[in-house]
Amino acid sequence: MAGLNQSRAPIFEALKAYRAARIVPFDVPGHKQGRGNPELTEFLGKDCLSVDVNSMKPLDNLCHPVSVIRQAEQLAAQAFGASHAFFIVNGTSSAVQAMVMSCCKRGEKIILPRNVHRSAINALVVCGAVPVYVNPGVEKSLGIPLGMTTEDVKRAIEAHPDAKAVLVNNPTYYGVCSDLKAIVGLAHQAGMKVLADEAHGTHFYFGEGLPLSAMAAGADMAAVSMHKTGGSLTQSSFLLTGPSMSEGYVRQIINLTQTTSGSYLLLSSLDISRRNLALHGKEIFDKVVRFAEYARAEINKIGGYNAFSRELTRHPAVADFDVTKLSVHTRDIGLAGIEVYDILRDDYGIQIEFGDLGNMLAIISVGDTELMLERLISALSEIKRIYAKDKIGLFDHEYINPLVEMTPQDAFYAEKRPVPIAQSAGLISGEFVMSYPPGIPVLAPGERITSEIVEYVAYAKAKGCFLTGTQDAEIEHIMTV
Domain boundaries, the chain: 283-387, 408-480
Task: Please report the pLDDT score of residue 2 as a whole number.
Answer: 65
- Residue 441: other Cβ atoms inside 10 A: 26
Can you list the alpha helix ranges (DSSP code H) found in 63-149?
A: 68-80, 92-103, 118-127
Phi then psi dihedrals of residue 354, to 5 deg: -165, 160
Task: Please report the pLDDT score of residue 247 as a whole number.
Answer: 97
Amino acid, res. 450: T
132, 111 Cβ separation under 8 angstroms:
yes
Q: How far apart are CA 217 and CA 178, in angstroms?
A: 12
Q: How far apart are CA 311 and CA 300, in angstroms?
A: 14
Hey, which CATH number is domain 283-387, 1.10.3720.10, 3.90.1150.10, 3.40.50.300, 3.30.450.20? 3.90.1150.10
Q: How far apart are CA 10 and CA 137, in angstroms?
A: 44
Q: How far apart are CA 389 and CA 384, in angstroms?
A: 9
Q: What is the DSSP letter of 187?
A: H
Task: Please report the pLDDT score of residue 87 as a whole number.
Answer: 98
Q: How far apart are CA 424 and CA 448, in angstroms?
A: 9
Task: Please report the pLDDT score of residue 352 as a whole number.
Answer: 97
Q: How far apart are CA 220 and CA 208, in angstroms?
A: 23
Q: How far apart are CA 274 and CA 5, in angstroms?
A: 12
CATH class entry, domain 408-480: alpha beta
Q: Which of 267, 266, 238, 264 is nearest to 81 (CA)?
A: 238
Q: How far apart are CA 49 and CA 288, in angstroms?
A: 32
**Per-position pLDDT tens, the chain of length 481:** 667 999 999 999 999 999 999 989 998 999 999 999 999 999 999 999 999 999 999 999 999 999 999 999 999 999 999 999 999 999 999 999 999 999 999 999 999 999 999 999 999 999 999 999 999 998 988 989 999 999 999 999 999 999 999 999 999 999 999 999 999 999 999 999 999 999 999 999 999 999 999 999 999 999 999 999 999 999 999 999 999 999 999 999 999 999 999 999 999 999 999 999 999 999 999 999 999 999 999 999 999 999 999 999 999 999 999 999 999 999 999 999 999 999 999 999 999 999 998 999 999 998 999 999 999 999 999 999 999 999 877 777 778 888 999 999 999 999 999 999 999 999 999 999 988 777 788 999 999 999 999 998 998 888 888 899 999 999 999 999 9
Which H helix or E strand runs over 113? Answer: strand 109-113
Sign of the four-CA dihedral 193, 194, 198, 199: positive
Span 385-403, pLDDT tens digits: 999 999 877 777 778 888 9
Q: Tell me the pTM.
A: 0.95
Contacts of 182 (CB under 8 A, 6+ apart): 150, 319
Span 299-321, pLDDT tens digits: 999 999 999 999 999 999 999 99
